[in-house]
Amino acid sequence: MPSIKKTKPKTKTSRKSEFQTDEPYHLEYIGKTAVHILGTAHISELSVKAVEDLVTHVKPDTICIELCESRMKSVEDPDYLKKLDIFKVFKERKMWLLLSSLILSSFQKKMGQNKVKPGDEMRKALEMARDKKLTVVAVDREIQTTLRRAWSNVGFLSKMYLVSALITSLFVKEDVSTEKIEEMKSEDILKDLFSQLPGRYDSIKNVIIDERDTYLAEKIRRAATLPSAKKIVAVVGAGHLQGIISHIQHEHDLAPLDLIPKRKWMDMIQLAIYPIFFAGLIGYTTYSQGADAGGSLLSKLVIIKGGLAALGAMIALGHPISILLAFITAPIGTFVPIFKAGWVAALSESYLRKPTVEDFERIALDSESFAGFWKNRVIRIFLIFFLPQFGSTIGTFIVAWKGLNNIL
């Protein structure tokens, strides 16, 4: 019997486009729907122009944008940050979203004399879509989901490293040249950035880059299968372009990528370690050395942990009530881990000293100087969030060392 050579069927999904540009660009067909995918740098004037040229040339009926629904609202509303209820942000524990906005604002200022603000190419795509009454599809995953999935993949020390890197970036002054901005359109620029991090951060790269490549591709593919879609323009960061191309012809289940990881049993054990350790330490000290010794150790826990947390709030120039709450909460948090001195102090500060519109407008300018961190109420709230927590953590180790040293 003659052998049969199996070959894959040839399917032509991409064709040459009449649109010519020096920007990263790809034309893909999903069924009969033409999908024009433009890769951009988020602070490039040429990218903004390329978006305008592509939409004008293609005349699409749908525009897909690398934004989630919440970020799209903030991009369309220039006064988004000014209207923000910062007390509600801290109450709902969404301070990391606000911190990312703060860092983005600072980054914007570092662009020097560049005319383009971060996200202007997305803003241009939105403006043209609204003007022409086109369908707009936000194709990115919710930023809160991405951050929480990334955050759950690293341990305590790695979290501290990443937080310190973010905070440090606020102090760095760097003018970004036009040439450097254009380099950001390299298809591998994001992967190059993550390749410089230690291997233990590969899980973060997977969440922020690889998962979102799949997510973006699937949302664009779904938009292309809608009956009303004939021609689509998709505006995405250049770092995602190749990943999108590799996934866009295959159907993907997005439900697993939208899941917020639940606490693992190891996380629950870690939460219980401090209460069990200190309860045991105080209990054993009382048993072996008497009630006075146990009471003395408990007093040290209150005075040292509470005192260092309060000192952190004082250094951040917190309100007297915020300082007092940091002092009270720090020792309580030893036995009830859901209470964090920094979080309670920042919640108090955001209620007692609500930032003004001017504070939000001056975030970028004030973050350029050391003194500006204490002058600006928005930034200072984050100082009051971090410093008492840092002081409380130092106090934990001091008291633990004193207790163990006393026993030994």
Contact 86, 354 (CB under 8 A): yes
Residue 329's pLDDT is 94
pLDDT digits 0-9 by tens, 313-343: 999 999 999 999 999 999 998 888 888 898 8
Residue 408's pLDDT is 75
Contact 374, 316 (CB under 8 A): yes
Low-confidence ranges of the chain (pLDDT < 70): 1-18, 42-43, 78-85, 92-118, 153-201, 263-268, 270, 357, 361, 363-364, 367-368
- Nearest to residue 170, comparing CAs of 35, 363, 393, 389? 363
SS3 337: coil
Which residues are bridge partners to 35 per DSSP?
28, 232
Residue 186's pLDDT is 54
Residue 9's pLDDT is 33
Percent of the chain with pLDDT over 70: 70
Residue 138 sits at φ, ψ, to 5 deg, of -80, 115
What is d(CA 387, CA 400) in angstroms, rounded to the nearest whole number? Answer: 20
Rounded to whole angstroms, what are the CA distances from 144 to 69, 87, 122, 336, 354?
11, 18, 19, 26, 24
Rounded to whole angstroms, what are the CA distances from 244 to 32, 53, 196?
18, 22, 23
Residue 12's pLDDT is 40
Residues 6+ apart with CB under 8 A from 338: none
What is d(CA 385, CA 341) in angstroms, rounded to the nearest whole number? Answer: 8
Q: Which residues of 256-271 are buried (b: 16+ CB within 10 A; e: fewer)?
A: ebeeeeeeeeeeeeee
The stretches of 37-154 forming alpha helices (DSSP H) are 45-58, 69-76, 86-91, 95-109, 120-131, 143-151
Residue 2's pLDDT is 36
Cα 191 from chain centroid?
Answer: 17
Residue 10's pLDDT is 35
Helix axes 377-407, 341-352, angle to 10 degrees: 150
Q: Domain segments of the chain: what residues? A: 25-258, 265-407
